[in-house]
């Protein structure tokens, strides 16, 4: 079956530090890959996505590149802010079955940015 | 307009009760889902449903049942609530091909 593995936190960084959150996956076929963010007390927001190998998703200074050879989709940001403190989820969608299987999520990484 | 809305946002109830959570999407998507987020923030799919087929995660107890009156709605009914059902439940939808998913804001269910 499909699975997503991401580094578990909490990850604590100082403001303006460089961020990397690792994510690797196991899937059949050619999945789409996503990063979702959950701010305290809120729902899930799509941060970025990539639908095929070598695609780079980007949004709000965050980037992730779909690496099929290493089955990875690591999230990066050059300079984090206190407002980036949240839980980040890596996820994949296996398009076999027309999306009936939904998203498979990693366990989430709690990011804490200190001023 | 909220794309995927679910009600209520908070639900506190006693063990043994039966409750429902409602979900509506105005995106015209074909497939809707229910996810459960446990106390450790882990998210797991419970159901997916389009107007033709219901896919049930085999780990979901049969006390949980989705009901879809039409394409835009997928409600979640829970019978005989247990303490372990306490969690945040998210509704979501996706268009054909499932290249994008939109989530509701969640319902925090507390069973006491």
Query: Mean pLDDT, 10 residues at a time, over chain A (115 residues)?
Result: 90 97 92 94 92 95 97 97 97 75 92 96
CA pair distance B72, B69, nearest whole angstrom: 8
What pLDDT is recorded for position A16? Answer: 97
Q: How close does chain A come to B80, measured CA to CA in Å? A: 26
Contact A109, A6 (CB under 8 A): yes
End-to-end Cα spacing for chain A: 41
The answer to whether B94 touches B8, Cβ cutoff 8 Å, is no
Peptide bond into A22 cis (omega under 30): no
Q: What is the pLDDT of residue B103?
A: 93
Task: Tell me the pLDDT of chain A averaged across its residues.
Answer: 93
Residue B56: exposed, middle, or buried by beta-carbon count in 10 A (0-12, 13-18, 19+)? middle
User: Which chain B residues touch A38 with a CB distance below 8 Å?
Assistant: 41
- For residue B8, list chain A residues with Cβ-Cβ distance below 8 A: none
Distance of CA B104 to the CA centre of its chain: 9
pLDDT of A99 reads: 65
Q: Measure the CA–CA gap between B67 and B1, rounded to whole angstroms.
A: 23
Task: Quote the pLDDT of residue B54.
Answer: 84
Closest CA to B12 of B63, B73, B81, B105: B81
pLDDT at B46: 93
pLDDT < 70 regions, chain B: 1, 51, 98
Predicted local confidence at residue A39, as pLDDT: 93
Closest CA of chain B from A43, distance in Å? 4
Per-residue confidence (pLDDT) for residue A96, from 0 to 100: 65
Residue A19 has a pLDDT of 97
CB pairs under 8 A between A and B: 75
User: DSSP label at A107?
Assistant: -
Q: How close A41 gets to chain B, by Cα (Å)?
A: 9
Q: What pLDDT was estimated at residue A41?
A: 84
């Amino acid at each position: 079956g499909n699975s997503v593995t991401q580094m578990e936190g909490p990850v604590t960084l100082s403001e303006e530090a460089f961020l990397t959150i690792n994510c690797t996956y196991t899937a059949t076929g050619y999945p789409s890959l996503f990063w979702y963010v959950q701010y305290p007390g809120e729902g899930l927001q799509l941060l970025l996505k990539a639908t095929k190998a070598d695609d780079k998703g980007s949004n709000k200074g965050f980037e992730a590149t779909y690496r099929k050879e290493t089955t990875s989709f690591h999230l990066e940001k050059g300079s984090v802010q206190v407002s980036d403190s949240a839980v980040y989820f890596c996820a994949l969608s296996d398009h076999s079955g027309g999306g009936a299987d939904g998203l498979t999520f990693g366990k989430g990484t709690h990011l804490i940015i200190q001023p | 307009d909220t794309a995927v809305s679910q009600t209520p946002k908070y639900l506190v109830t006693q063990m043994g009760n039966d409750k429902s959570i409602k979900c509506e999407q105005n995106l015209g998507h074909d497939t809707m889902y229910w996810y459960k987020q446990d106390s450790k923030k882990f998210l797991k799919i419970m159901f997916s449903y389009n107007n033709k087929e219901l896919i049930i995660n085999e780990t979901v107890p049969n006390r949980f049942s989705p009901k879809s009156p039409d394409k835009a709605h997928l409600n979640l009914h829970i019978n005989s609530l247990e303490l372990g059902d306490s969690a945040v439940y998210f509704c979501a939808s996706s268009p054909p091909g499932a290249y994008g998913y939109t989530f509701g804001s969640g319902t925090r269910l507390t069973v006491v």
